Structure 1
């Protein structure tokens, strides 16, 4: 008599695992089907629970998560620079590695100590891997699980407690409880009861963030005041924008700004040799924002000083402070006797203040092959505009919550993001950056102003509500009443505390579990037996 093959749990096949990887991709912007992430990991968990740790399983898991990575970040291949597009494609192969390592190590723990210990290890490992991804300078954080909830405004208000990593933990817990609620072959009455408890916990996990969000938004702080901010989106194609001469680019931006300030056609020049009388500033705007790379690199200190001096006179005549993205030579680069090399040019934000020296902040964090220039800054600089403290994020810096929240901890009242996502066309990256930046507003409870070259420029309220001011390829200007807030959230005070705890627990738990299984196997032998009905010996005829 041939023994019957033991039935496998549902959703444990490779095909289901591939479906789960695709569900995670669909939950991320721009599609933003965020509920799919609540169960998207279940097939991967079912497969992980059945496979013994092996090189073959690691390869399989890497292929699955690589599918998610490519579905989410394929737009990196659209860069018009062929070399950057190629390197961007290569980076997609690196993105899954931290999650693969988290699953692989948890698989070893599960194999030695049982399913529950393996699931605990998996949770802390994933959070630790994401924490390291966000903390390391050369990282591509598009597969952070918390970002799958970027569109779920009702569920992500708790980010002001633990940032995007708390949302990652929440997504993990939803998937684990959904996995434990699956029927299992030969399940006993006790297992059936635990399945019911798992479904109840899943329901509670969905309800708690909604309740917290309702209470938090109902208790929203009254703004300390309002700052009138003018956003200028030039709407120039990437090739024309990069190829424009300095005077032409600055004149174009100045003309659009004059039209916004005066409510009429532009009548002044900031970059040319003539300077007609400045139009009256009847808009009430005191802070004017130009997008990333608005001020070209002038080659020498003298050329840069002349440009900034001309802009200062222009701003003084209009009674406005100008915050503009600029290309600059990185700090410490010698410019006295030679022009900097291409790899020595950095992105920066420059504040032009009437009657005061210009201030400059150099981009500190960047995403490889997504940010156009190197991130070379070393110090965070707060800009003051008529008593309003401004934090500035350049490019994809707004992907990193702990970096941005340090500005708020230092006293920032609002956050301004200077960006240009037009290099990849109207791609998924445009919307991912916008939606992920929403997290920074909720984490710090600060309004976020996004200024771009070709879209999408927007105002993000502290509740996460996005108010688009200019769409893709629109040439538009807008005056915004931006609320300013004071005070600190738990996340602003403590940063990625959850990631730090997870990293420490991952090291202790994983090493401890393996050590116990090696040096005290009698303590864990019973837990290593797979659950299921007792096998009957085949009868001998």
Structure 2
């Protein structure tokens, strides 16, 4: 196809190409390079058709294909939730492009494209931090398949990946436009710049790739994968059977050097008050096991409640028929013999499933009918680190969905965490790309924080990930067993841990300035038209 034939491609074709490029490039495929050109067809469509063309409908189609093609597996958990996630996320993703369409009325193509980039980065930042957060498709997540070449995430986080993808797309777009205009020198400049940037970042990654340190100070960690079907959790196994399976798998895989065992999200499922866990009859085998191994620390997912008396101590507190307020938690607990349980309550909750923002509370009965939560879970105010002074193993208890929030995870590290423990239950989605994507994102947290990641997934994939973002051990999907690894701890703080999502924050300021200038130009234009 010659360059000029781009003019004759139907808008629908270009829209579909973008959607398919974004979908096929997403983890866990080997086509990640497609992200570097995925936006080019839409940029060409905007360039060819001009300002009056109804661009947004084709943008919406591209984004709908992308969202559907990469997160369709949500249907296995909740059909209503899957449709809502795809439709809402597609709509929200259109907002930066809508801003681009508006900017083109008063700014040059170059300036409008710069506005598009900062609008998109601002959208990603907001989507990481507001009450209906769903950042699964943050562009920077898409590069997780090639962790060896994105070691610079230690300095930028995923925002740097999103920015890179946009820069390369724009350079490739201008290269194509320059070729179309037979300006080969300019095309060479743009194409060469794209090649140089990618090559330079790969070179930097290989240069800063941490060396595998050989140290005498390591801690043996065991992660358990019980492989309990979440849809048949209490039909196929009793609560006692589930606890016994976890204890037996642990006992079979530990030795005298084991310092820490990690069980998956909600592994301890006999929901009880937090101050009654040690007396719960179902958990007695756990405490007996720990008593037999006094040097062992257990970190596990757990379902719990907490009473507040007759006062609603939190916004999420529920009220019993007797007038007692309480919270329900999807939590993590640290257990060790002769020590009181330490809890962390999941703080990044799944919208519609675990929490509802206040402006959607009127839809609570609908969400409850389709498997969601009406009252919502309670949360911890801050990230809690489980500390074992004997081993100096300070663990960040990260529960499921929380592992896709880079800046949030840095709060654990700044509070002293020397390793990351991810407890998750991806069995709700079945054997689909969902659990593979979730595992791939965990590699980014290892790079950003330069910490080992120990990942315990109920049905898989459990894994150990080193600070380079490399999976060094894994236990596959739908398997029962455990992994054991001697890991070193790290107390240093990376640039990203110290400064977080600074790229997003800078982009948000620039985006705000663009909006101010846009309205100034718009008002000036309106005044000018009145006077003429």
TM-score, normalized by length of structure 2? Answer: 0.85
Alignment check: 8 A CA contact 1:11 1:43 kept: no
What are the ranges of 5 or more consecutive residues in structure 2 without an aligned counterpart?
309-316, 355-371
Quick check: 1:390–1:413 contact (8 Å CA) kept in 2?
Answer: yes
Count of residues in Structure 1 that have an aligned counterpart in Structure 2: 491
Equivalent residue for 1:199, pick from 176, 185, 191: 191
Distance 2:463 2:63 in 1: 32
Aligned 8 A contact 2:327 2:377 in 1 = no
Q: Which residue of structure 2 lines up, in the alignment, with residue 138 of structure 1?
A: 132
Structure 1 portions without partners, runs of 5+ = 1-5, 262-281, 524-541
Change over 3 Å in CA distance of 1:346–1:325 after alignment to 2: same
Instruction: Tell me, in whole angstroms, the C-alpha distance in 2 between the residues paired with 1:412 and 1:133.
Output: 26
Q: Is the CA contact (8 Å cut-off) linking 2:131 and 2:351 kept in structure 1? A: no
Alignment pair present for 1:212 and 2:204: yes
Map of 1:246 onto structure 2: 239
1:329 aligned partner: 305
1:102 counterpart (79, 96, 99): 96
Measured in 2, the distance between the counterparts of 1:42 and 1:368 equals 32
The alpha-carbon deviation at position 425 of structure 1 amounts to 0.9
Tell me the distance in 1 between the aligned counterparts of 2:332 and 2:408.
Answer: 16
Check 1:302–1:157 CA distance in 2 against 1; reply closer, same or farther (3 A cut). closer
Q: For each residue in 1:454-477, what CA deviation from the matched residue of structure 2 results, as whole angstroms up to 9, or x when unmatched? A: 110001111110134311111112
Structure 1 match to 2:162: 168
Q: Which residue of 2 aligns with 1:287?
A: 260
Aligned to 1:351: 334
CA gap 1:349/1:10 in 2 versus in 1, 3 angstroms: farther
Structure 1 equivalent of residue 66 of structure 2: 68
Q: Deviations over 1:263-309 (max 9, x none)?
A: xxxxxxxxxxxxxxxxxxx3411111111111113345675341367
- The CA deviation at 1:148 is 1.4
Q: What residue is the counterpart of 2:514 in the other structure?
A: 509
How far residue 453 of structure 1 moved from its aligned partner, in angstroms, is 1.1
Distance 1:13 1:328, change over 3 A: same
Q: Deviations over 1:240-262 (max 9, x none)?
A: 4344333221122111211122x
Deviation at 1:100, TM superposition (A): 1.1
- Rate the CA distance shift 1:199–1:405 in 2: closer, same or farther, 3 A: same
CA root-mean-square deviation: 2.9
- Residue 491 of structure 1 and its aligned partner are, at CA, apart by 0.6
Kept after mapping to 1: 8 A contact 2:307/2:327: no
Q: 1:214 to 1:313 in 2, by over 3 A?
A: same
Are 1:443 and 2:419 counterparts?
no
Larger Rg: 1
Residue in 1 that maps onto 2:248: 255
- Corresponding residue for residue 22 of structure 1: 20
Task: Give the Å deviation of 1:439.
Answer: 0.7
Quote the offset at 1:447 in angstroms: 0.7
Which residue in 2 is equivalent to 1:382? 385
Aligned partner of 2:368 in structure 1 is: none
- Which deviates more from structure 2 when the two are superposed, residues 99-108 or residues 215-224? 215-224
- State whether residues 458 and 468 of structure 1, in contact with CA within 8 Å, keep that contact through their aligned partners in structure 2: yes
How far off is 1:312 after superposition?
Answer: 3.4
Whether the 8 Å contact between 1:53 and 1:108 is mirrored in structure 2 is: no
TM-score by length of 1: 0.84
Higher mean displacement: 423-432 or 252-261: 252-261
Deviation of the 1:318 alpha carbon: 1.3
Contact preservation (8 Å) 1:29, 1:431? yes
Counterpart for residue 493 of structure 2: 488
1:122-170 residue CA offsets vs partner (Å, 9 max, x unmatched): 1111111111111123222122111111101233111111100110000
Q: Deviations 1:298-342 (Å, cap 9, x if unpaired)?
A: 34567534136763343122121111110112675579986999x
- The structural deviation recorded for 1:118 is 0.8
